[in-house]
Amino acid sequence: MSFPSELARQYIDGEWLTGNGAWDIIDINPYNGEKLCSATVATAAEVDLAYRAAERAQREWAAVSPYTRRTVLENAVRLVGERSGEITELLIDELGDTRAKAEYEVRAAQEFLREAVGQAIRPAARLLPSVADGEENRVYRLPVGVIGVISAFSFPFLVTMKTVAPALALGNAVVVKPHQAAPVAGGGLVARIFEDAGLPAGLLNVLITDSAEIGDAFIEHPVPKVISFTGSDRVGRHVAAVAAGLFKKTLLELGGNSALVVLEDADLDHAVRAAVYSRFLFQGQVGAAAHRILVDRSVEKEFTERLAMAVSALPSGDPRDPDTRIGPVISAFQAEALTALVDGAIEAGATALVRGRTRGNLVEPTVLTGLPEGSPLLEQEIFGPVALLVPFDGEDDAVRLVNDSPHGLSGAVHTADGERGVRFARRIRGGMFHVNGATAQDDPAVAFGGEKRSGTGRLNGEAAVEAFTTRKCISVQHGRTVFPF
């Protein structure tokens, strides 16, 4: 298909517009360097236009029947299904997705939309007793109003959709600022789907821009009551600080340093498959990826041999080839940074069990071991196909190593005893942990989010309802109140 460059525009109050900024964002295919499209950036004035349009549209949207909102979301589910092939091709072109990853992202987005369909008509109020005779307490869940969404290039279609869909379902309006590397997949594409699904103008707006042009205007604007940000903990800290000063609620999905743990009784073949998937999905450019692979020393040799063999066999190359499992990283800057990181680790004494080559933006997988405890590399988020293998001595040592991280997003443990795995998981300080699975999991009904530097707040299911609504308490006195004076 031809790349839908017409979606690389500002979408404000139902109109596709050219930005008024002084420069363009260039959208590049990370595999072959082909220019896909360009978008003139939006200015702070256009930020204001988008938020004001959302504010106007939201009042009426909140008042319509939940079944009306549900119909729009049902239409969106259908459209994503009908256009799944086109969306898959777009993700491959814009992000360097392998075909398997792109197809997975489209299926996942459909599931999150289906979850939002149900959220539109779930009970919105509770009746609670009162200590006073003849009085009842009603607690209503009302939309917060307007939500600002700053999306990422990692799973951009899914990440934007899983935020926008429940927000709209619950009666809110949204303004999205997609990542510069994914202005279409994380912005214009989502807007087009909802436009075609019948969403009234103004309820979803997309601004393709950058802080170099608008500063903090996207966060500081008085209209949005919630800011949802996905990205690095460095930028997330700034977003949180600005928003807190204005009493805005934040949802922060930040970096990770997740560990996949292999206990001595694990099914090693299954653990290897889980480790490879957890580390190398989307070339490792996933917050919940398994940055560290921890293995009990009693099975270290056998596991290491199987892991090295499996990683060495991963096909790297053209992401359009259905057999490719490792495509390009997002940019030349990222490729160079990863190469320098691996070279520096080896110079510092690490051993490369597998050493991938770098060809343009294609960074082949690498597995490093022998890093000394306390190495900064073990504490940072590595956004690329580099795995760190760390042995441990017994379960307590594994728990200590997993928790010895400033992050706390996700993780996994492999063991023959599922309940042992649950006990292990409960000892970990983090938002999510998986027994005998992958570290990178995202279920529409299950709260997603982290602790420590991995962020605050949760999305998905009931957590999304909590995030995008506010409680309003109303008491009703039936009869005459007896006042104490």
pLDDT digits (tens, 9 = 90+) for 15-30: 999 999 999 999 999 9
- Digit-coded pLDDT (tens) for 119-148: 999 878 899 999 888 899 999 999 999 999
- CA–CA separation, 193 vs 200, rounded Å? 12
153 within 8 A of 124, measured Cβ to Cβ: no
Phi first, then psi: what are they for 316, rounded to 5°? -110, 145
Q: Which amino acid is at 304?
A: T
Q: Helix, strand, coil shares of the chain as percentages rounded to 5? A: 40, 20, 35
In this predicted structure, the answer to whether residue 1 has a pLDDT above a threshold of 80 is: no
- Digit-coded pLDDT (tens) for 201-217: 999 999 999 999 999 99
Biggest CA-to-CA distance, the chain:
82
Strand 290-296 relative to strand 469-477: parallel, antiparallel, unpaired?
unpaired
Q: List the one residue out of 400, 413, 407 whose CA is nearest residue 380.
A: 407
Q: Residue 158 — very low, low, confident or very high, per pLDDT cuts 50/70/90? A: very high
Percent of the chain with pLDDT over 90: 95
Q: List the one residue out of 130, 129, 131, 133 whose CA is nearest residue 480.
A: 133
Q: Angle 201-249-14 (CA atoms, 0-180°, nearest 5)?
A: 10
Question: In b/e form, how buried is each residue of 441-463, taking b as 16+ CB within 10 angstroms?
Answer: ebebeebbbbebbbbbbbbbbeb
From residue 178, alpha-carbon distances to 8, 39, 88, 186 in Å are 11, 12, 18, 5
pLDDT the model gives residue 422: 98
The answer to whether the predicted template modeling score (pTM) of the entire model surpasses 0.85 is: yes
Q: Is 242 exposed, middle or buried (0-12, 13-18, 19+ CB in 10 A)?
A: middle
pLDDT the model gives residue 185: 97
Q: List the one residue out of 432, 440, 441, 445 whose CA is nearest residue 166.
A: 445
Write out the H or E segment, with its range, that includes residue 38. Answer: strand 35-40
Q: List the one residue out of 274, 263, 341, 358 whose CA is nearest residue 310.
A: 274
- CA–CA separation, 359 vs 246, rounded Å? 46
Collapsing DSSP to helix, strand or coil, 429 comes out as coil
Question: In b/e form, how buried is each residue of 104-119, taking b as 16+ CB within 10 angstroms?
Answer: bbbebbbbbbebbbeb
Collapsing DSSP to helix, strand or coil, 57 comes out as helix
Average pLDDT over residues 191-198: 98
Q: Which amino acid is at 64?
A: V
Q: List the one residue out of 412, 110, 135, 439 whose CA is nearest residue 280.
A: 439
In this predicted structure, the answer to whether residue 2 has a pLDDT above a threshold of 80 is: no
- CA–CA separation, 83 vs 89, rounded Å? 10
CA 485 from chain centre, in angstroms, equals 55
Q: Angle 404-408-410 (CA atoms, 0-180°, nearest 5)?
A: 115
Percent of the chain with pLDDT over 70: 100
Q: What is the mean pLDDT of the chain?
A: 96
Domains of the chain: 5-254+454-473 (3.40.605.10), 258-435 (3.40.309.10)
Which runs of consecutive H residues, i.e. helices, occur in 331-435? 332-347, 395-403, 418-426
pLDDT the model gives residue 418: 97
From residue 51, alpha-carbon distances to 18, 60, 148, 207, 222 in Å are 17, 15, 9, 10, 9
Which range (2-6, 301-305, 341-345, 469-473) has the least confidence? 2-6
pLDDT the model gives residue 360: 95
Phi first, then psi: what are they for 256, rounded to 5°? -135, 165
In this predicted structure, the answer to whether residue 414 has a pLDDT above a threshold of 70 is: yes
- CA–CA separation, 225 vs 215, rounded Å? 18
- Digit-coded pLDDT (tens) for 367-381: 999 998 888 899 999
